[in-house]
Structure formats: structure tokens, C-alpha cells
Amino acid sequence: MFKLDGKIAAITGGGSGIGKAIAELFASRGAAVCILELNASTGEETAKNIISNKGKAKAFTCNVAEQSQVKDVFAAIVNEFGRVDILVNCAGISHIGRLDNTTENDFDRIFSVNVKGVYNAMAGVIEQMKKQGGGAILNLASIAGSIAIADRFAYSMSKGALISMTYSVAQDYVAHNIRCNCISPARIHTAFVDGFLKKNYAGQEKEMFEKLSKVQPIGRMGKPEEVASLALYLCSDEAAFVTGTDYPIDGGYIKLRN
């Protein structure tokens, strides 16, 4: 089950964190993975790791906020591989702030990557997926897109928009055999979390890590590999009956917190 043999999978933000975990898992299940990454070195490193483990991967340097770059990359992918079976949108940035201390530049920066970047990637593959008779699109949202989290004004806006776009794309292209779903993680332990703690809580990293971990009723943060496993299911043929759905993966945060 959950084989991706012969599939061509494009993953934005596939050079680190959740995107990297997804790229490595998909490659291990037989997909040829195309990594779209702003940071060229991390994209290349992930691709090399996959290839060293006998997988298939290629890195493309790309700023998802720039539509012309995204179109050029997908044209190159189709030219080389002939199709795009799976698109996973992992590229994203975070921001901490309320309405009254979020600047216009902050807002525009979050929107350009988290919303426009996903739009650009989906627009870059939709015609090819229609032409080839189908495909699977998966967007990485957040529980912040559907529930209230303090000091996440712009970030929550962007993830709420992403969830709505997922529903819309699923509706509009279901007749073309194109499925579109999204995953909404709670706090996942990545290098971003470690960097955030080091920057904002120097000397208190261990205590704050434990505090943030216990926010999830299950008592810990999620792992990138756990998100990747859910992504594998949703992009596999075993999920052929699944579309237009947001899947929280949150250690019970939404339903079980007091």
C-alpha cells in the first residue's frame, strides 16, 4: 500500500522541515521528487540525500512568490518528466503579532509567500493535471487557519485563506479527476522551532520547549515524519475517494484542550 511508483511529485519548501520529510518519504515510496526551494543549498542537499538512498530527486531554485519563476520551473519539470502527478505546497513563513503591531510590510510578506505562493504553484500545475487526466494537490495549512491563536494575526489570515483555496480547487476540478486536500498541523518540532526558542528565549530554551510541547493534549510536539505519513496517504491512490477536506494533525489540540 501507499506506493508512488512512477509518480512525479513536486514539493515546494522541500529542502527543510516538514517539506524535507515529505520529499524523503515520497522518494522512498517510488516517486521522482522535484524540490522547489528558495534556499538552493538546502534543496540540493535534500536531493543528494535522496539520491544517495537510491531515490530519484531533482532540486529547483524557486521563489514561490514570483509567478514567472514558478511557471518556468513547472515548464522545466514537465519538459523533463512529462507530467506532474502530485503537488505538495509546504513553502511558508511565519509571523508573530497582533493586528495593531503587524505592519503593512509584514502583512504583504506573509501574503506573498503563504497565499500567493500556493496560488502560483497550483496555477502552475492545474492545466498539466487537466491535460494528463488527473492529479493530487496537498496544501500545508495550520490549525491557526481555523481556530483562534494569540499573536498570529497575519499568519492565521494566510492559513485560513489556504484552507478556503483548497476547498475551491477541490470543487472546481473534481470532474477532471484532480483531488485537493490540506493538512493543518499544530506545533511540529522542526529547526524553525529551535531557532525561534534560541532567538526569543536564550538560556530558557529547555523550559520553553517543554511548555510549548504541553500545549498539545498528547503532551508533545508532532514530528515532521508524522505529518509526512499523513501526506503520503492523501497523495496516494489509496486516498482516491478523498478530496476537499482539511485534516488537523494536532495531538488533540482542537478538540481536547481545556
pLDDT band per the 50, 70, 90 thresholds, residue 200: confident
β-strand partners of 97: 152
Q: 257 or 242: which carries more pLDDT confidence? A: 242
pLDDT digits (tens, 9 = 90+) for 91-122: 999 999 999 999 999 999 999 999 999 999 99
Residues recognised as catalytic: 155
- CB neighbourhood size of 53 (10 A): 11
Q: Which helix (H) or strand (E) holds 61?
A: strand 56-61
pTM: 0.96
**In which residue are the cell numbers 514567472 written?**
68
Asked if residue 247 lies in contact with residue 230, where contact means CB atoms within 8 angstroms, the answer is yes
Cβ 83 vs Cβ 92: under 8 Å: no
